[in-house]
Structure 1
Amino acid sequence: MYYDLNVPWTSREADLQRKISFLADLGYNLLALGQTLSGKFPRDITCPIPATLTFAVPPSVQILRRLTLVIQDSSQNHRIKDLTSHSSGYDILAVRPTDEKTLQHACGSLDCDIISLDLTIRYPFHFKYKMFSQAIERGVRIELCYGPGIAAFDSTSRQRVIENATALIKITRGRGLIISSDAANVLSCRGPADIVNLAAIWGLGQERGMEAVTKEARSCAVAAQIKRTSYRGVIDVIYGGEKPLKESAPTKQEKNQAKGKRKAAEMTVEPDKDNTDKPLSKRQMKKIAAEARKANSGNKEADDGQGKIQNGTQMDVDTTTEP
């Protein structure tokens, strides 16, 4: 799955639908629609991005909602914790520091998901490995956006994008980086293969470049979701369905019957049913033989008597026929 965690949100539905459809055709499976706030934050920050878009979204694409805060002063950080809750309406919180002090605070202790730097400007300080390593150890991802460099009209902005991206890749050693589009229009969007090749020009290996749009981006989205739906990012309570009814455990009697162990009361058999199956004893065989002999002798006597009657009748017939 390919991820683009920074797709600028616009209220023009036609442009937004065209951009989402084009990114889906490029092969992206998860898109984060982003809103950017700068200056003084309002008292009540509400998410203008609806949970369900009014137009049809490709079925292979999942939509998240993101908020990017441009931090110009560390005193603005006291309300950021409220934006990481599930009730805020945002799935991902990104910060964009503008100076070294706010960047150091964001990398060290600020509760956010992504640190996204504006690569089109020149920073008056050098990036430090110790600063970014703290953010990576806390699970915060460093974002590189290629869209502003592609859409820039002057060569200076493109040069700044290349310089800053190369410096960040060198400082972080390619770890904890995600690459997003931040494309204002469809013409600035690129496919995953083009991003890997572009990252290779910046000095990021192909394996790390592929992880920047797959593994690292997925880890960022999953960690942000766990942070908002669990207790301190450790325990997540989810609905797993109704608990299945357990079958009653078999009793000892049923177990014995299953094993073929029958009680003494069950050992009584029906005589008519079981005598046909049991072999005959010697006494029964003798009794049956005696009854058979008796029946044979009775039949023999009956046959002898019938023969005598027939002989007597024949003799009478013969005597009457003589002259």
Structure 2
Amino acid sequence: MYYDLNVPYSANNRELQRTLAFLAELGYNSVALDHTVSGQVPANITNQIPSPLPFSVPASLQVLRRCTVHLSDPSQNHRLNSISSVYDVVALRPTTEKCLMLACQAFECDLISVDLSIRYPFYFKHTTLAVALQRGIKFEICYGPGILNSDGGASRRNLISNATQLIRATRGRGIIVSSEARRALACRGPADVINMAVLWGLGQERGVEAVSREARSVVMQAEMKRRSYGGVVDVVYGGERNETLVQEENAAKVKQSRSKRKAEVLENQGEEVGDSPRPISKREQKRQAKKARLENAKAQEPQAKNVSVEEPAVEGDSHAQLLPNGYVG
């Protein structure tokens, strides 16, 4: 998946829909619309990017909402933690060396985006940027201002020089590349972005990661900060039953009960009309035949068992006995 995490948002920008459609054609899967905040962060923070957007977006394109805070005075930006609960990605754009140092060491953000199209009076130091890399904060290079330049090529020269210096200071780690394109003409495909990264000295593999894996890690870390405790503990599944599954089970039970009631009604109607009984199974036929045989056998037994046999009595001798040979003894 390819990411472009910086597309400036404006409510009156008519080119935005065309830009998003063109990025989808170039092969990008996720795009972040950027809202810029300059000066002091307001107390009541609301997301200025509507969801859903007032125009149609390609179905293959995931649209994220991002906020970039321009840091010129560190004392005026003490509400940075509350922005992460409103936007999907929070980025800082420091304009001075002190703000860059504080953004790397203390401020909570997901991304540090430095405007590389201008000339800075200081150098990017490895000791300063390494602290941000240890905290999991990435650095962003935006190529859009260097492509459509109207200052005679100065922004393009500054972009190449600053990007080379930033890659040298970070050792090529934690770099993502975005467009910051206000028009579709400034957008470039992922392969062109990788070639530009190679030109700046990033390397082929790191260039691919700059538009895919590194950008995805920014989005995932920002999501973990919003929905988990301290960005460490997250409850993925708490044992809750899926609502669709429960609805399907209830529908199946209702259907089964209806079919059962319908069968009972049809059976009762058949008994009332006088339909022929159901055929008897072979097992039931054998059982009935065996029962009939036993009843016939009992009826044919001799009934003499219940009649007693009387012995003949001899006259004149009440104590006479009948011998086995027939004589009276």
- Common topology (TM > 0.5): yes
Task: Provide the rounded CA distance (Å) in 1 between the counterparts of 2:120 and 2:13.
Answer: 35
1:249 corresponds to which residue? none
1:135 to 124, 129, 132: 132
Task: Provide the rounded CA distance (Å) in 2 between the counterparts of 1:222 and 1:13.
Answer: 29
1:253 corresponds to which residue? none
For residue 43 of structure 1, give the secondary structure of its aligned residue in structure 2. coil
Amino acid in the other structure paired with 1:18: R
| CA displacement, residues 94-121 of structure 1 (integer Å, 9 cap, x when unaligned) | 0000111110000012100000001111
Whether the 8 Å contact between 2:113 and 2:139 is mirrored in structure 1 is yes
2:203 corresponds to which residue? 205
2:112 corresponds to which residue? 115
| CA displacement, residues 104-163 of structure 1 (integer Å, 9 cap, x when unaligned) | 000012100000001111111111111111111111010000000001112111111111
1:268 corresponds to which residue? none
Task: Provide the rounded CA distance (Å) in 2 between the counterparts of 1:93 and 1:61.
Answer: 20
Gaps (5+ residues) in structure 1? 246-271, 274-323
2:136 is the counterpart of 1:160: no
| TM-score calculated relative to the size of structure 1 | 0.72
Percent sequence identity over aligned pairs = 54
Task: Provide the rounded CA distance (Å) in 2 between the counterparts of 1:19 and 1:51.
Answer: 18
Amino acid in the other structure paired with 2:28: Y
Task: Provide the rounded CA distance (Å) in 2 between the counterparts of 1:73 and 1:219.
Answer: 29
Structure 1 position 44, deviation (Å): 2.3
Cα RMSD over matched residues? 1.9
1:191 corresponds to which residue? 189
2:99 to 102, 110, 117: 102
1:129-278 alignment runs, 5 A limit: 129-153=126-150, 154-238=152-236, 242=241
Gaps (5+ residues) in structure 2? 247-285, 288-329
For residue 204 of structure 1, give the secondary structure of its aligned residue in structure 2. coil
Task: Provide the rounded CA distance (Å) in 1 between the counterparts of 2:4 and 2:214.
Answer: 11
Amino acid in the other structure paired with 1:44: N
For residue 121 of structure 1, give the secondary structure of its aligned residue in structure 2. coil
Amino acid in the other structure paired with 2:164: T
**Richer in helix (by share):** 1
Task: Provide the rounded CA distance (Å) in 2 between the counterparts of 1:51 and 1:173.
Answer: 38
For residue 176 of structure 2, give the secondary structure of its aligned residue in structure 1. strand
Task: Provide the rounded CA distance (Å) in 2 between the counterparts of 1:30 and 1:58.
Answer: 11
| TM-score calculated relative to the size of structure 2 | 0.71
For residue 32 of structure 2, give the secondary structure of its aligned residue in structure 1. strand
Amino acid in the other structure paired with 1:4: D
For residue 124 of structure 1, give the secondary structure of its aligned residue in structure 2. coil
Structure 1 position 43, deviation (Å): 3.1
2:16 is the counterpart of 1:16: yes
Task: Provide the rounded CA distance (Å) in 2 between the counterparts of 1:13 and 1:111.
Answer: 30
Judging changes above 3 Å, is the alpha-carbon distance between structure 1 residues 148 and 24 closer, same or farther for their aligned structure 2 residues? same
2:31 corresponds to which residue? 31
Aligned residues: 245
